[in-house]
Every structure is written in structure tokens, then in C-alpha cells.
Structure 1
Amino acid sequence: MRLIVCVCDYWQRRHYYNRPLTKAIQMESTDEGKQLAKHKLMRRLSVQLDAVSGNYLLREVLQQSVLQHQLQHNLGVQLLWLSLQPPARLDIDYKWTQMLSHTIAEHVQLDQLMCWLSTLGGGYSSLGDQFTRCAEAAGKISLQQLSIGMRLRNPLMQARCKLYYSISLIQRGELRQAKQLIRNQYRLACGQNDQRLKRMCHGVWERLRYEYGERQRKAIK
């Protein structure tokens, strides 16, 4: 049996953690529930804290199984009741604010860089059918976009960059490698249920089929 933690906020709303609520606890807000709760024997530890300290205590209780074990077995506590009060002073977490602002600024810069690379890569890719050098440049740009997607930890963005790279492979005649790459991204699109990525896979796959058909016609001639 896990320790039940109840947090009572400023508006007397109750939030329960760690286990499903019993019928008596669920009905405490009604008159009938209050009568049932009186007959339910449960050792309660009531703690009144400001919201900041209460949040730290709540995190420790939920994450530290040793602390839960001590409360239950050493003190016999079954229900930890945290009553939150407005803090006397609202402190600004400057360290967290600095970390967050740095992360946001980095994401904005990476998004802008991704847009520029997409425009540049599209231009080289459009010339890749006539010039192998342009197809190679488009492939390098796609790899740079892939590195940005990995840095942002965005699997769908990485999949789209790999599809762009597969177009470069098709233009350079490396059809087998492109086929395997497209199949892998299509499996990912099915797993994520991303319709946009699925349509992109279908479009690149049609381009691959066309190149296979052209190669077969040249072989017959």
C-alpha cells in the first residue's frame, strides 16, 4: 500500500497522488462523503506550508521511496495532507530564468537556420537533376539539417531531413540506399501517425519508382 498524498490548494481544491482514491475520499466533498470519511480510520499527517516549500516537499515525497517508507512504517502515516498557503515573498528564480531564456534563444536561432537551409537546399535540389554537383550540395545541406534536428531532439524533423537526403541519393543514382531510407521513414510515420510525413514518403517513393523505370528502359535499349 503506497502513501497517499493530498495537496489542498489556495481554493481548497484537493489533488491526490500515488494511488487511486477510495470511495470515502472521493466523496469527501459531499455531506454523505464527510460522514463516510469519519468512519474510515486513516492516520493523517497535516503539514501547512507556503506554495514554494510545499512544491519541494511534494517532489521529494513522490520521488523518494525511502522517505515514503519512513513516513509509513516509522510514523504510521497513511495520508500526507499538504495545505498550501500563498508565500510571504515571491522570489524570482534568476538561474532558471537564465537557463530557459538561453534555451529559447537557441531554439529560435536553430529554427531560423533551418529555414535558410531549407531554402538553399531546395534551390540546389531543383538543379540536382541536371548537375551532379548540385545534388551533392543538396545532400550536404540535408545532413546539416539532420544535425539540427538531432540537436533539437525532434524525430519527425529528422525524418523529413532524411527524406530530403534520399532525394539527393536518387539524383546521384544511389537508388538502393534511397529505397531503404524511405522505407525506414515510412515506418516511423506509421508509428507516429503523422499524415504529412506519410505523404512526403509517398511522393519521394513515386520519384524513386520513376527513376527505376527510367533505368530499366535504358537497359532494354
Structure 2
Amino acid sequence: MSNTAILSLPHFLAAASDEFAAGTSPATRRTAQILRSSGITIADTPRAPIHGNDAACSPPDEINMLLGREPQSACLTAAASVYRELDWYESTKSHTPYAEIIGPTSLIRSLELRFGLFLLYSDIVYPDHQHAADEVYIVLAGTGEWSLNREPYQDKIAGTIIDIPSLTVHAMRTAQEPTLMLFSWTGVDISFETYQFC
């Protein structure tokens, strides 16, 4: 990661904290608090993907397209200054790209929080799954649909906060455009050991 990107990280984390602070759930408040208190200490040991088999990939081109949209939130503008420098991986489970910035094996180490950027390509279905962590998504750009507890899908646009409590079955899908979002995992267990498709 370049020195310029490292200098931009605190601004991005502050903007992300503001996005989570707008939520009302314990998970959004917990994420905002951890992001505010997070010291920027870049790990000096090798970083690793969330799941051991996830493959390194380039930053998705779709993000650049989404960054051309107006209006932009402060967080999306801040993300533009760092996303190319992050470690991106493609999930072997869902074939979707992500960049985890904070987590047990990430750029900034934490055992309390997984946080980063996640992209859903256009015309994709991320099927029903669940995990022990409390999860929050905040849509930064694009649109998508979410289903919780196998209820009908609901449209989500930029600025929308999606709270997913521990072990809630949930799914996501997109239509003609991709969706860029922040994600966080908090709670008692943020490991991937309980992650399963339903």
C-alpha cells in the first residue's frame, strides 16, 4: 500500500464510521465505535483472505464506473482514494470480490470487527446463507435487493443500511447494475467457521 493511500485511510475510516453511526442497531453502533477508536496500525505480517481458498484479484472495474455517479456520499468519495490500493480477493463461495480492511488477518488487525468493501456484480444472486456474526451492509453506490428470513426481496439504494442479526438467513441479488457497499461483522464470533449456505 502506498504512503498516499495510508494517509487517506483515516479519512475513509472516519467517513465510514459516520455512515454506521447513522444506524440504530447495536451492530451499527458497535461498528461505528470500533472504527472511531481504531488506531491505524498497518500489519507487518502477511495479510490473508477471509477464507483461505479465496484468490487475489484486481480491484473490480465496476467500482470505477460506480464512482462516476452523482451525488456521492462523503464515504464513497473517500473510498475512491483508497480502493485501488487495497488487497482484493474473490470469494470461492460466492465468486464476488471484497477487500477486508480490518479483521483478524487484514491490513488493520482486529478480533472484534471485520470491515471492508464488497461488490456484487450485476445480474447475480448471492443465495441464502447465515453466520454467527452480526452483519451490516451500507450501500455506497448502485442498487440491489436483500431478503431476510426468506421474506420477499426489498430494493436497497445508496445510503441504505441493511442490518442482519446473528444467524439470520439472508440473500442478495442485483439486476442491471452492480452494487458497492461497506460491510461489517461484529459480535461474539466473527470467524468464518459458522458460515453456511442454506
- Structure with larger Rg: 1
Say yes or no: TM over 0.5: no
**TM score, norm. by length of structure 1:** 0.20
User: Which has the larger share of strand?
Assistant: 2
Please report the TM-score for the alignment, with normalisation by the length of structure 2.
0.21
Question: Higher relative contact order by CA 8 Å / sep ≥ 6: 1 or 2?
Answer: 2
**Larger proportion of helix:** 1
